[in-house]
């Protein structure tokens, strides 16, 4: 699983836009994605991209992409 962020570098100013992308090199079946922040179980999004239009104080933290191809899960 590879992750990328726009803008690159991992830091964003308040009010800026942040786009996180998640990609998988290989998978056997249809892929399902879910995004999580700080270990939360409730997903923030369910696609290969997560967009935060106006980053605020409550958006800070570590983000995680979870990908499943039906047989295995990568984070």
- Place domain 2-69 in its CATH homologous superfamily: Immunoglobulins (2.60.40.10)
pLDDT band at 2 (very low <50, low <70, confident <90, very high): low
Task: Write out pLDDT tens, residues 10-35.
Answer: 678 899 998 999 888 776 678 899 99
Domain ranges of the chain: 2-69
Tokens of 4: 């990328």
Task: Give pLDDT, residue 46.
Answer: 94
Mean pLDDT across 53-71:
89
Rounded Cα–Cα distance for residues 65 and 75 (Å): 6
């Amino acid at each position: 699983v590879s992750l990328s962020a726009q803008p690159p570098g991992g830091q964003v100013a308040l009010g800026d836009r942040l786009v996180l992308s998640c990609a998988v090199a290989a998978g056997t079946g249809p892929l399902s994605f879910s995004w999580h922040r700080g270990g939360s179980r409730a997903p923030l999004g369910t696609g290969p991209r997560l967009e935060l239009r106006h980053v605020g104080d409550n958006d800070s933290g570590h983000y995680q992409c979870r990908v499943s191809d039906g047989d295995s899960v990568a984070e």
